[in-house]
Amino acid sequence: MSYRPLSILLCLALTACASTRPPRSIGSLPERDAALHPLAASLNALLETPEADVALWGVHVRSLDSGEGIYDHEGDRLMLPASTMKLVTLAVAAERLGWDYRYETALLSAAPVVDGVLQGDLIVRGSGDPSINAEGDSGTPVFDLWTETLRQGGISAIEGRIIGDDNLVEEATPGYGWSWDDLPYGYAAPTGALVHRDNMVRLTIHSGSVAGEDTLVEVSPRASGVRVVNRVETNIPDAEVELALRRGPDGTLEVWGAVPASGAPVSRTASITNPTVFFVRGLKQALQRGGIRVSGDPVDLDDIDGRTIGGPLRALTNHQSPPLSALATTLMQTSRNLYAETLLHTLAQRRRPRTAEAGRAAIRDVLETWDIGPSEIIVADGSGLSRYNYVTARALVDVLRRMQDDPRHADLFMDTLPVAGVSGTLAMRMVGTAAEGNARAKTGSMANVRTLSGYVTSADNERLAFAVLANNFPGSAAPILSVIDRLVERLAQSTRSDSGR
């Protein structure tokens, strides 16, 4: 895939932003002299504290009720959004796909069933459903449901292969601009047409009883095909856990570090490199565990001669994902990167195969209809893991306003967001403040970046949309998070008179 158009767009957008948008002084607004009013004064004071002064900030606040700008600090400055990029991806997906959109996965075969035996290959054709056997799902695993359906259809054995057809979506690759050292971790799992268990494995590291003893690394699921090299040592009992993942040139996953002697097992997630093979391996294991014998190997359709399958294919069962409204809740509450990257590809509805580049073009097209230009949001991926994404705080607020101004989206979009002090990635933040149970927002976190964007209701019941972006700070993120939370808490305490209205 060529990425030159995105690089050119990035350069042009940065140049345009630099040449047409002069820097604003702290707390300025085109609508009024914000520095005269108590709310602006208190927010300015927070951004001028020593802990805030080490970061680059972009802040914008606007009333959803009146449309008025309430506060702005460098709201037109391009910033790294981290996972607040998911707000843009979801908003565009809701607009283009609709909240009832579902992914479909089909089990197909061209072979007859004779005396309970499928006399040929079983093909599983995917469209990108990210929820199949997802981690944390308390329901019956989808593979077990499929096994039961086949058994009820009279199939007790398969004399053929389990073939994964992933051709609706481009081959699994890391997101554009993802850091190489992120790639082995579960949060950087690649997407594709076939997704199973979030395209990651769980590693459980068991220490020895004394320092220097060997450790044990268990991989789940066992049929993952992931090859692990264990380089973890047992340290003294009171030592900190220090673990890192690396992927060798041959795809081997190396686990490095140390764990304390006689400590509790330590868990980490790691990405897999071939989602399709991972999927069909897991399906074969589930079929055999459920009493269906499989004689052939699990394979990727791209690795075999498709003419050997025969035809025409008939559907043995079809599976639909939960609707986008449910998938979006998982995406936003747990900040699931895989779901966001899947949506990015899904936006390329007219493209075969569906590609990330076509998804980026779809996002740009929708944003343009919302009067949000390429100098305000630069899209590299769907999740925000790439450091090639750039947004302005004002543009994020514009996206939030679009969602709330449209009755098709307002409640459904709001319901996906974590609630301060209550749920998701905000469950432990702003507890005991006016923002608890009030602010609904998407968090963003990566090295030297912390962001928060969403909605909060003021003390006199005015609905506000806000975006707070902090970049380029050194050291611990804790002081930056404190400033962000205090900004939102102050908005929750504010009244119209605080901003001179």
Please spell the DSSP secondary structure of 138-194, one letter per residue.
-S--HHHHHHHHHHHTT--EESS-EEEE-TTBPPP-PPTT--GGGTTBGGG----S-
Flag whether pLDDT at 12 surpasses 80. no
pLDDT of residue 7: 46
pLDDT of residue 17: 41
- Give me the chain's average pLDDT, please: 93
pLDDT of residue 81: 99
Domain range list for the chain? 4-99+325-499, 104-172+274-321, 180-271
The mean per-residue pLDDT over the stretch 255-269 comes to 97
Q: Return the ∠ at Cα 105 (arms to 288 and 306), rounded to 5°.
A: 75
Q: Cα–Cα distance between 270 and 281 in angstroms, integer?
A: 17
Ramachandran assignment for 35, one of left (phi > 0), alpha (psi -120 to 50 degrees), beta (any other): alpha
What is the separation of C-alpha 169 from the centre of its chain, rounded to a whole number of angstroms? Answer: 18
pLDDT of residue 305: 87
pLDDT of residue 136: 77
The mean per-residue pLDDT over the stretch 218-234 comes to 93
Q: Cα–Cα distance between 47 and 135 in angstroms, integer?
A: 39
Q: Cα–Cα distance between 369 and 92 in angstroms, integer?
A: 11
Flag whether pLDDT at 95 surpasses 90. yes
pLDDT of residue 41: 94
- pTM here? 0.92
- Burial (Cβ within 10 Å: 0-12, 13-18, ≥19) of residue 372: buried
Whether residue 453 contacts residue 377, with contact meaning beta carbons closer than 8 Å, is answered with no
pLDDT of residue 496: 93
How much of the chain, in percent, has pLDDT values that exceed 70? 93
Please spell the DSSP secondary structure of 211-258, one letter per residue.
TT-B-EEEEESGGG---EEEEEEEE-TTPPPEEEEEE-TTSPEEEEEE
Q: How far is CA 412 from CA 324, 351, 403, 432, in A?
A: 10, 28, 9, 26
Confidence of residue 2 (pLDDT cuts 50, 70, 90): very low
- Rg of the chain taking only CA atoms, in angstroms: 25
pLDDT of residue 478: 98
Alpha-helical (H) ranges within 336-392 are 337-346, 356-369
Q: Which residues contact 451 (CB under 8 A, 6 or more apart)?
A: 79, 80, 81, 82, 83, 84, 443, 444, 445, 467, 468, 469, 470, 484
Flag whether pLDDT at 500 surpasses 90. no
* CATH fold of the domain at 4-99+325-499: Beta-lactamase (3.40.710)
The mean per-residue pLDDT over the stretch 79-83 comes to 99
pLDDT 10s digits, 190-208? 999 999 999 999 999 999 9
Q: Cα–Cα distance between 398 and 465 in angstroms, integer?
A: 9
pLDDT 10s digits, 360-396? 999 999 999 999 999 999 999 999 999 999 999 999 9
Question: Which segments of 38-120 are extended strands (E)?
Answer: 56-63, 69-73, 104-109, 113-114, 117-118
Reported as half-sphere exposure (CB side, CA atoms, 13 A), residue 236 has a value of 2
pLDDT 10s digits, 405-436? 999 999 999 999 999 999 999 999 999 999 99
The backbone torsions φ and ψ at residue 317, rounded to the nearest 5 degrees and listed phi first, read: -165, 150
pLDDT of residue 142: 97
Flag whether pLDDT at 29 surpasses 80. no
Q: Which two tokens stand for residue 184?
A: 């082995």
Confidence of residue 24 (pLDDT cuts 50, 70, 90): very low
Range with the lowest mean pLDDT among 223-237, 394-408, 429-443?
223-237
The mean per-residue pLDDT over the stretch 94-101 comes to 99
Closest CA to 206 of 268, 254, 248: 268
Q: Return the ∠ at Cα 438 (arms to 28 and 59), rounded to 5°.
A: 20
Three-state DSSP state, 76:
coil
Confidence of residue 137 (pLDDT cuts 50, 70, 90): confident
Flag whether pLDDT at 267 surpasses 60. yes
pLDDT of residue 1: 38
pLDDT of residue 140: 87
Q: How far is CA 202 from CA 158, 171, 218, 263, 438, in A?
A: 29, 23, 8, 18, 35
pLDDT of residue 254: 97
Three-state DSSP state, 427:
coil
The mean per-residue pLDDT over the stretch 115-137 comes to 95
Please spell the DSSP secondary structure of 294-332, one letter per residue.
E-S-EEEGGGS-GGGS-S--EEEEEEEPPPHHHHHHHHH
pLDDT of residue 16: 40
Closest CA to 336 of 497, 134, 184, 498: 134
Q: Which residues contact 114 (CB under 8 A, 6 or more apart)?
A: none
The mean per-residue pLDDT over the stretch 12-25 comes to 40
More confident: 414 or 4: 414
Flag whether pLDDT at 6 surpasses 50. no
In what helix (H) or strand (E) does residue 11 lie, and over which residues does it extend?
A: helix 4-20
pLDDT 10s digits, 332-356? 999 999 999 999 999 999 889 999 9
CATH class of 104-172+274-321: alpha beta
Three-state DSSP state, 358:
helix
Confidence of residue 307 (pLDDT cuts 50, 70, 90): confident
The mean per-residue pLDDT over the stretch 153-159 comes to 97
What is the separation of C-alpha 452 from the centre of its chain, rounded to a whole number of angstroms? Answer: 15
